[in-house]
Structure 1
């Protein structure tokens, strides 16, 4: 059973709003979907941090462009 969608207001700085709009256009998805995908990415990061806290492994998310061999570590400030 899916959760009932909730609405809430988000206040963004002018630069964050512009970045959200730019990402939305680049990915051809709406701003809400950009935020949903961002939350999913942060969930992965939170899981990695929790695993590191438990001593299971070192936290970090890596992303690799398809045309390169080396991953780039995503820097997430918490």
Structure 2
């Protein structure tokens, strides 16, 4: 199979296009990963704050319901 100059130029253009597309996808993936990691870190800190506040509330008012399940149990206990 013999390729002429035009065929070689077309092959190079296609390869360049594919390379550019892959680089763009890699860059987008990197940005998405950064955003995901940032959100994951925010979630970790929010969960940490909730756990901390829950422990403090248990120390201050151990008889109060802090979760939906505990509130349901209190309501059922008052009905019985």
Q: Tell me the TM-score normalised to structure 2 length.
A: 0.33
Say which structure is richer in strand.
Answer: 1
Answer with 1 or 2: which has the greater Rg. 2
Q: Tell me the TM-score normalised to structure 1 length.
A: 0.34
- Higher relative contact order by CA 8 Å / sep ≥ 6: 1 or 2? 1
